[in-house]
Amino acid sequence: MATETRQDNGDGEAREPRLLVVRHHEGDGAGTWEQWLAEGGVRLDAVRAWEGEPLPERLTHDGLLVLGGAYLPDDDARAPWLPGTRALARQALGTGVPYFGICLGGQLLAHVAGGEVRGEHGTPEFGSVRLTLRPEAADDPLFHGLPAHPPAIENHVDAVTALPAGAHWLLSSADCPYQGFRVGAAAWGVQFHPEARAARIPAWNARRLARHGAPDPASLHAHALREAPEAEAAWRTVAHRFAALVAERRGAAVA
């Protein structure tokens, strides 16, 4: 786990807010969010879980970001770090530590909070897809005031099929109803990739895309590039708002 953070120096000056990031694959980092969270004053401590880097047993960070991966939330045989990741997500829910889950991370939040996730379910989504903000997003701390139909990069075949009881349903798409939701006051899950750059799409597996009836990487890339400015404006706003919540949590911890 990266530890490039300044600790309290003992004279009352608090360190900057710290966000624990759980990564599941080489190359699947925080993307644009690394910069955007840094703009909000947040430092990222990333765990390369697939390499065997240990997860902390206790969540002492000011926020938790769980990224995407080619697993289901309970795929413990292939990803033996998932039980520890679920435990951290439960701690975040229980203590109010801000949580943001992307793709697998969003499905994991739904799973631990009592929702349902199914593999190879529904219509797969790849490339830039238009989302729809639902009415409940109007007063959501992260998603309020965004454009009604922001574009976002998608890359999934698995999906949340039922939200946890009491969850706030925030975003949908034509082919995937549960694109974004909130559990409690400060835990968000999204199916899309607000951190992903269009520049990654040319490296996607063309055979996998063809198997699911999707366009080739070049076509998906060209479409995503056209929509990138609009997408980046929306998701930079969300990242900055999440950074503010993490900073607020840090401030409350040292008050």
Active site residues: 103, 193, 195
Neighbours of 84 (CB within 10 A): 17
- Distant-in-sequence, close-in-space partners of 147: CB < 8 Å, separation ≥ 6: 133, 230, 234
Evaluate the CA torsion angle 65, 39, 144, 62 in order and state its sign: positive
Return the amino acid letter for 82.
L
- Which class for 163: exposed (0-12), middle (13-18), buried (19 or more C-beta within 10 A)? buried
Distance CA 173, CA 131 (A): 5
**Cα gap 77→17, rounded to integer Å:** 34
Question: How many CA atoms lie within 13 Å of 249's alpha carbon, on the beta-carbon side?
Answer: 25
Contact 29, 67 (CB under 8 A): yes
Take residue 67 and report the two structure tokens written for it.
């990224």
